[in-house]
Every structure is written in structure tokens, then in C-alpha cells.
Amino acid sequence: MISFQNVTKKFSTTITAVEGINLDVKKGEFVFLVGPSGAGKSTLLRLLSREYLPTTGKVIVDEIDISKLKSSDIPIYRRKIGFVFQDFKLLEDRTVLENVALALQVREIPELEIAKEVERTLKLFEIWERRNLFPRQLSGGEAQRTAIARAIIGKPEVLLADEPTGDLDPQTAWSVLQLLGEINSWGTTVVMATHNKEIVDAQKRRVITIKGGKIIKDRNEGKYDLH
């Protein structure tokens, strides 16, 4: 499903964010990406979402070399990818319902169908009662559930999450993780960058450790261990 083939990303002659990355993620996998701050985790996610182009090497998704996409094909490619961030990145002047609906309104989907799908998703994520609130009126957990609803409502094949529990209290962090696990059980591939040792150690999932832009460890049922 995802294949990094000898990928290096340099931002300048002196800044190499990731170097010589070789990594395969199968369809339906759930993987944690761990490593110290500045290790290159966000860069890897942004190479996958095609925000960044590799300096050298290839990023292949569904057998397509995504650096070769024409700019007109990038929006279509991005439908495959949902992205969730630490700071939610919700539109502050839109309600919960509008934030989530917008993800479908940019496509040619009939309004009635959008309304049904938004209602189903908000109910599933237990934020239907909050649908007319604005992001600043939400708790951190509600904001992150809204952001995840927005990311997955278009049924992406891959969900990328960059420190999605970083700003949440432990209990809320667990509920977000449970939600990501559920989304993964529907068949969505999940790649989550995190510093949350407790969560990583409790999950017994594949853990890829990156340090100084290189993969130093890749273990099934791995632990959060940066050494």
C-alpha cells in the first residue's frame, strides 16, 4: 500500500529531515511512528500526503509514484488520505457540522447524501449533540473527534495522524486511540506519529522508531524506546 524507497528529504544543503528511508506499510496496518522531536516524523507524513516532494527516492502509494502526479491529479490523490493534527486545524468560523460537511462538499456529492453521511458520522463519534457549536466551544476530545470525523468521512484508504493525542488529557487520549483503532478495524491503514509512551506500549502494534532522519528500529508488537 505504502512504500518509501530510499527516500531523502533535504530542506536546504544543511537541513536533511529524512535520509535513506526504506519502509513498507501494508493495507490495513496500524503503525506508530516514534522518535524525538525533530527526528523527521512529520516530514514522513507530509511526504505521504504529497505536501513535500522527496529530494531523492520514491514514495509509492497504491502502486503510484506520487511525485509523478500532475498537479491536477493531486486533489484526487488526497481523497485517499485523511490527516489529523495535534492542534485539530478546524475552521474556527464553522460549526462542528459545517467543518465535517465541508470535506464532502468539495466533491460532487448531492447535498442530501452529504447530510445523511454527516449525521451518521457525528452520531457514531458522539458529537451529534455538539453539531451547532464552534470549535472554541468544544473540549479537546470533542475537537479531536470532530477533526477525525472530518478526516475519515470521505472514506480515505489511509489515515495519517500527527501527535493526535498531544494536547489531550490521558483519558481523552485513550478514547481518541480507541476511535483510531476502530477506524483501522474498518480496513483503513493508520500511520500515527506520537510521543505517547503509555499508549504505544499498551497497544502491542508495529512501532517504527526514527532518529536523526533515519529508521533505527521497526518492530511488531514494539515498545516506545528511542535507544
**How far is 186 from 209, CA to CA, in rounded Å?**
26
40 binds ligand ADP (CB under 6 A): yes
**Residue selected from 41, 145, 205, 206 as contacting ligand ADP according to rule CB under 6 A:** 41
DSSP result, 118-147: HHHHHHHTT-GGGTTS-GGGS-HHHHHHHH
Q: What angle do CA 181, 186, 190 make, to 5 degrees?
A: 50
Q: Residue 167: name the closest of 147, 141, 190 by CA.
A: 141
Beta sheet of 189-193, edge-to-edge order: 81-85, 158-162, 189-193, 30-34, 206-211, 214-219
Q: Could you identify the residue written with the cell 528529504?
A: 9
Minimum distance, C-beta of residue 15 to ligand ADP, in the bound complex (Å):
5
Contact present, 204 and 31 (Cβ < 8 Å): no
**Residue selected from 4, 7, 35, 200 as contacting ligand ADP according to rule CB under 6 A:** 35
164 binds ligand ADP (CB under 6 A): no
Minimum distance, C-beta of residue 127 to ligand ADP, in the bound complex (Å):
28
Contact present, 16 and 7 (Cβ < 8 Å): no
Nearer to ligand ADP, 30 or 52 (CB): 52
Find the part of the chain contacting ligand ADP (CB under 6 A) among 32-40, 67-75, 83-91, 135-143.
32-40
**Residue selected from 2, 4, 43, 114 as contacting ligand ADP according to rule CB under 6 A:** 43
Minimum distance, C-beta of residue 162 to ligand ADP, in the bound complex (Å):
7
Find the part of the chain contacting ligand ADP (CB under 6 A) among 41-49, 121-129, 148-156, 217-225.
41-49
Nearer to ligand ADP, 42 or 203 (CB): 42
**Sites of contact with ligand ADP (CB under 6 A):** 11, 15, 17, 35, 37-43
